[in-house]
Amino acid sequence: MNFSTVDELILCSNDTCQNVHLTASSVLLYICMAAVIILTVCGNLLVVISISHFKQLHTPTNLLILSLATADMMVGVTVLPIYFISKSFCMRMDRTFCYFSLLCSFHFTFLSIYNVSFISVDRLYALSNPFQYSNKVTFKLIFTVNCFNWLTSFGYSMAYIYINGISTGNVLCFGNCTVVADGLWASIDLFLVFILPCSVILLSYMKIFIIARKHSKSIRLAKGNPATRNRKYGGGVPKASKRKAATTLGILVTVFVACLLPYFLSISFSAFIPDTLSLKVFEGTLPLLYLNSAINPIIYALFYPWFRKCAKLIFMLNIFNTDSSLVNVLTDSG
C-alpha cells in the first residue's frame, strides 16, 4: 500500500495491522477464510430463499428464522470480510468506513442474539399453549416483533458507537478501528446483549425440556393402554412433531450460546487478566462469535428435512417452474 503521509504509515506499523507475506500456510488460511464466508452467505441465503419462496413454510416461527438467517447472511457479507482483511493485510480506511464496519458488527450480532431469544420464547408458547398459539401468534405480531428488533438493534448500536467513540485520526488501519467502552457502558452492553437474552433463552428451553418430558410420558402411557391409545393417537402425533422441532431448535440454541459464551466471558474477566493475555483471549474468541453465523445453516441441513428438500429444488432451478411455491416440502419432515 502507498501512504501519502508519515502519520498514516505510523498508524499501519503496529502489531494490530501489518503486511503478511504469502506462504503456504497463509494461502491455506485465506482459502479457509473464503470458504467460511461463502458458507455463511450461501447457506443463509438458501434459508432466506426457502422460507420466502415456499408458501408451506410461511409460518410465524419461520418468519423469526428468516430474520435470523438474514442477519447471519449479512454477517457473511459485511462483518467477516472486514474482519479477515484486518487480520491479513495492512490497509487504510477513513472514519466513515470504520463507523460502518463497527455498526455492521454490533448491529447484526445484536440481531442474531435477540432473534434466537424470540425463537425460544415462540417455541415455549407453542408447546405450553398449543390451542391458543395459532390465534395469538400471528404474522402481524411476529412481523412487528422483527421490525422492533431490527430498529432497536440499529438504534442501540449507533448510540453505543457514538457515545464511546472510535480511535483518533482521520485515516485508520483496519486493526485500529475499535470501540473501547467505559465501565458503565461495558456493564450495560454485557447485560443487554448477553445476560438478558441468554437468560431468556436458557429459561425458555429449561421449561420446554420439562414440557417435552411430560408429553413423552403421556404418549408412553397412552401406548401402553390400548383404549387410551386409540383415543389419544390424534393428539400424540402433533406433540411428537412439536417435541422434535423443539429439540432441533434446542440444538441451535446450545450451539449459539456455546459460541457466544467464551467471547462475553473474555470481556467480563478482562479486568482480571493481564493486558497482553486479555487481547489474545479476545482475539481468539471473536472468530467463534462470528462463526456461529456459518454454523446455523449446517444445523438446518442436518436436522431440517424441509431445508434439504428446498435446497435441492433451488439447486435444480425448480423454483422457476410455474406454481413451484406450492410444492409440498414438508412431506418427509415428520
Cα dihedral across residues 65, 69, 70, 72: positive or negative: positive
Whether 269 is covered by a domain: the verdict is yes
Whether 334 is covered by a domain: the verdict is no
Residue 212, pLDDT above cutoff 80? no
Residue 98, pLDDT above cutoff 90? no
Whether 1 is covered by a domain: the verdict is no
Residue 188, pLDDT above cutoff 90? no
Is residue 245 a contact partner of residue 57, using CB atoms and an 8 Å limit?
no
For residue 231, the model assigns a pLDDT of: 45
Cβ neighbour number for residue 149 with a 10 Å cutoff: 20
DSSP string for residues in 93-131: EEHHHHHHHHHHHHHHHHHHHHHHHHHHHHHHHHHH-HH
Residue type, 297: P
Whether 2 is covered by a domain: the verdict is no
For residue 272, the model assigns a pLDDT of: 67
Residue 3, pLDDT above cutoff 60? no
Whether 330 is covered by a domain: the verdict is no
**Greater model confidence, 187 or 282:** 187
Whether 94 is covered by a domain: the verdict is yes
Q: What are phi and psi of 189, to 5 degrees?
A: -65, -40
Give the residue numbers spanning the domain of 110: 7-319
Whether 23 is covered by a domain: the verdict is yes
CA distance 285 to 106: 15
The pLDDT of 87-98, averaged and rounded, is 73
Residue 13, pLDDT above cutoff 60? no
> 508519515: which residue's cell?
6
Whether 227 is covered by a domain: the verdict is yes
Q: What is the pLDDT of residues 32-85, one digit of tens each?
A: 888 989 999 999 999 999 999 999 999 998 999 999 999 999 999 998 888 887
- Which range in 114-118, 172-176, 276-280 is most confidently predicted, on average pLDDT? 114-118
Q: In degrees, to the nearest 5, what angle opens at C-alpha 187 toward C-alphas 182 and 193?
A: 120
User: DSSP assignment, residue 55?
Assistant: G
Residue 21, pLDDT above cutoff 50? yes
- H or E element at residue 331: none
Residue 109, pLDDT above cutoff 80? yes
CATH number of the domain enclosing 279: 1.20.1070.10
CA distance 221 to 214: 11
Structurally, the chain folds into a number of domains equal to 1
CA neighbor of 128 nearest in space, from 229, 209, 22, 244: 209
The pLDDT of 85-99, averaged and rounded, is 74
Residue type, 104: C
For residue 297, the model assigns a pLDDT of: 82
